[in-house]
Structure 1
Amino acid sequence: MTNREQEILTLLKTNPMISQNALADALHITRSSVAVHITNLMKKGYILGKGYILKSERYVCVIGGSNVDIQGSPRDTLIPRDSNIGDVKISLGGVGRNIAENLQRLGVETSLISVVGDDAYGQKILEESRLIGLNMMDTLVLHGAMSSVYLCILDDRKDMALAVSSMDIYDSMTVNFIKSKRHVIENAALCILDTNVPADVLEYVLSTFRSTPFFLDPVSTGKSKKVADLIGRFHTIKPNRLEAEILSGVAIQNDGDLQRAADVFHEKGVAQVFISLGRDGVFCSTPDGHEHIKAPDVAIVNATGAGDAFMAALALGYLRDMDAFQSARLGSAAAAIALAHENTINPTMSADNLFNKAKELGLC
């Protein structure tokens, strides 16, 4: 960092809303010179995004989906091909956004790169993020576009019975757009990707930022195919059983099959594998060992956000230098917190509550 850049940073810390003209007057230089220094500070990662948001600590970058969730649940046994009496609620969702919100609630500075429309849903996503301190300043806002919608039907056990997603808006996340976010990605302590992101963008990010650790949430069996040839570029992956079968080519029937699938991933370069098994817990594997961690016995109010909470806890564990097995237990505690609330994201999620829950459940 140059002396002039340090002077500008000092002024920005005192007044983050200061204009470039005011900076120029204070330093007795031209406004155009200030603009050049600001650009350089952004490239070096000292300023994150628009509005002079300064880098104050390690942060996580999440690139993925932000959408509105419409969720229906029956009051009795779900009857297919019939109109079921039940309840419908609308909330904010998207795998990337959910992970990012959980991280922010866990006290981790988080920057979310996504795409939303300028409709009421998109404005709601941006406003709610602002209220919890989640940085979405680098999210693409498309004028005249409708934000993505995820429609989910739960069964009488509160597990997903089926879902429909309308997410064409993510095709607008182009490689050129992501190139403009280079400073956000390469300065992150880690970057979490979900496969709502277009395939060419995923390939560009994974090929370009080789020094950034990447975590993967495959999202679904169909979308996971986007990363089948790129899986070795991830540090950590969290597929479910079906996604793991597709990505590894191994049919999974038992723990031996789980290990064979994990070995395929390790041979390609993946350091940590977490295969989520729903009510059967999670299979955790590294090149040095593996463990099947059973799911804690907790009452399920809503199962839709458990995986997103699990991934956020994995990221927290990585930032705190926990090993994979410690992180998996922390993830199980986060999933338990998520399962206990009707919202996709439990508003009581915090680092203190997470570690207390892990102790309560005997996970640490």
Structure 2
Amino acid sequence: MESRAQRRLDSITHHLVLPIQSNRGLQKVVLSSNNGGNKHEEAEPVVIGGMVLDIHATPSLPANPRTTTPGKVSYVLGGVARNVAECMSKLGAKPFMISALGLDMAGNLLLEHWESAGLPTEGIWKHQNIETAVVCSILDASGELATAVASVESIDKFLRPEWIERFRCNIRSATVVMVDANLNPSALKSSCQLAAESKIPVWFEPVSVEKSRRINSVVKYISFASPNEDELVAMANTLSGGNVFCPIERESSPSKCSKGKLFDMLKPAVWVLLENGIKIVIVTLGPDGVFLCSKGGPSLMRVGCEGIKPYNSNGILFKTMTASCPPKPFLSLQDSETSSFLFAVHFPALPASVVRLTGAGDCLVGGTISSLCAGLDIVQSVAVGIAASKAAVESETNVPSAINLAVIADDAKSVYSAAEVVFHQSML
């Protein structure tokens, strides 16, 4: 209780005085206790980005233009960063959220849920002049997005560097910082710089094709990126300074594309991201699974995760997954000392009874980050992320109301055992 009370007091202080510079490289937050001694609290992951109310409309009949269609309309708590953070919390992490909400219906719904989950709200700016971000999505019968209208200007307008910098102590002592590309370029750069100054790994979640291009000004700070195929191509084109790469068109093919052939099509774009300094690229492929990519080889992939310091409070996840997922044989493959070597592992997707797909990618990221923070390696962590994404698509909400760790462990074991190397050679 002292820890939580002190954290709230520190948050109030952030609003009254300029933040004090913290020691670089600090991995523990030192809090003063009432008896004059010092009390250590484990560092937490920090998530910076949007909290959004999603309005989902699913027609029960084929929709006709210029008229109403019977169906179901529901309010769903959303926002990429919010979804990621909530998924992390369901897996035992305690993320610190930095965002902005209005004092309106949408903001109240989002804040009430956050408080009921016992998650810290100090980093969430709440003000009457903020219009909470809302996205209205029209889904088809399969749960796929047909079209959407997004009113998210408040994230650009109010989630500014000045607000984010008030929590520099949280950022500089974090296990990892995840940013979503809803942040405006100045806020995105400020977040990444604060983390980089203390060598805190940064995870970039692209959000959309258009917003994924914001990678250009912050790529030198990014350790992890999690694009889908289209976002990958957009990011590679932005970093290359032109339209060098074309979107992958697979649906027109009468036969399913093999994972090897698919990676051959994507690897030039993946290589651009790695050449620009990103350590780990996780390409999400929908029903075709995930590609996990890095330079060099297995141990160099682990080097890309070295900055993430695990915390002991998530020991249950660590123990459960290490028992289910022993080290993979390919992790002993020889590394290459040349800078032109590309290493990629494919993970299959899990069969699922799909309800809606909107939270799948966010839960994959949340599951992966939680696992890394718990001390699992990147291969185990991605397997957990895929298991969490399966739970998401089988739920009515973006993040399942409850996550059964035993089920996650069983699903992750299936994914982990089927993971295999698809590329391990020089790009020259």
The alignment's TM-score, normalised by the length of structure 2, stands at: 0.71
Q: Mean alpha-carbon deviation: is it higher for 228-237 or for 189-198? A: 228-237
Match of 1:117 in 2: 102
Secondary structure at the residue paired with 2:126? strand
Which of the numbers 242, 246, 253 marks the counterpart of 1:251?
A: 246
1:46 aligns with 2:30: yes
Residues 1:262 and 1:324: Cα distance change in structure 2 (over 3 Å): farther
Report if aligned partners of 2:92, 2:370 keep a CA contact under 8 Å in 1.
Answer: no
Stretches of structure 1 that go unaligned for 5 or more consecutive residues are: 1-10, 21-31, 49-53
1:136 aligns with 2:121: yes
| Cα deviation digits, residues 258-308 of structure 1 (max 9, x gap) | 222111111111111111111222122111210232211211111111011
| Whole-angstrom CA distance in 1 between matches of 2:55 and 2:415 | 34
Match of 1:261 in 2: 269
Report if aligned partners of 2:51, 2:133 keep a CA contact under 8 Å in 1.
Answer: yes
| Cα deviation digits, residues 203-261 of structure 1 (max 9, x gap) | 12222331111111111111112222322321111111111001012335332122221
| Whole-angstrom CA distance in 1 between matches of 2:143 and 2:179 | 27
1:295 aligns with 2:349: yes
Q: Mean alpha-carbon deviation: is it higher for 228-237 or for 298-307? A: 228-237
Residues 1:312 and 1:104: Cα distance change in structure 2 (over 3 Å): same
| Whole-angstrom CA distance in 2 between matches of 1:80 and 1:311 | 36
Residues 1:79 and 1:327: Cα distance change in structure 2 (over 3 Å): farther
Match of 2:314 in 1: none
Stretches of structure 2 that go unaligned for 5 or more consecutive residues are: 33-38, 238-244, 249-261, 298-342, 418-428
Report if aligned partners of 1:62, 1:111 keep a CA contact under 8 Å in 2.
Answer: yes
Secondary structure at the residue paired with 2:217? coil
Partner amino acid, structure 2, of 1:193 = V
Residues 1:169 and 1:176: Cα distance change in structure 2 (over 3 Å): same
Which of the numbers 213, 220, 228 marks the counterpart of 1:232?
A: 220
Partner amino acid, structure 1, of 2:209 = T
Partner amino acid, structure 2, of 1:106 = L
Residues 1:321 and 1:252: Cα distance change in structure 2 (over 3 Å): farther
Structure 1 residue 318: deviation in Å?
A: 1.6
1:275 aligns with 2:283: yes
| Whole-angstrom CA distance in 1 between matches of 2:62 and 2:126 | 40
List aligned pairs for 1:119-268, cutoff 5 A: 119-170=104-155, 171-210=157-196, 211-249=199-237, 250-253=245-248, 254-268=262-276
Coordinate RMSD, CA, aligned:
2.8
Higher RCO structure, 1 or 2 (CA under 8 Å, sep 6+): 2
1:347 aligns with 2:401: yes
Secondary structure at the residue paired with 1:134? coil
Which of the numbers 389, 396, 405 marks the counterpart of 1:335?
A: 389
| Whole-angstrom CA distance in 2 between matches of 1:234 and 1:333 | 25
| Whole-angstrom CA distance in 1 between matches of 2:368 and 2:232 | 18
Which of the numbers 334, 342, 362 marks the counterpart of 1:308?
A: 362
Q: Percent identity?
A: 26
| Whole-angstrom CA distance in 2 between matches of 1:19 and 1:339 | 35
Structure 1 residue 17: deviation in Å?
A: 7.6
Structure 1 residue 178: deviation in Å?
A: 1.5
| Whole-angstrom CA distance in 2 between matches of 1:55 and 1:106 | 23
Structure 1 residue 139: deviation in Å?
A: 1.0
Structure 1 residue 47: deviation in Å?
A: 4.9
| Whole-angstrom CA distance in 2 between matches of 1:256 and 1:158 | 30
| Whole-angstrom CA distance in 1 between matches of 2:363 and 2:372 | 14
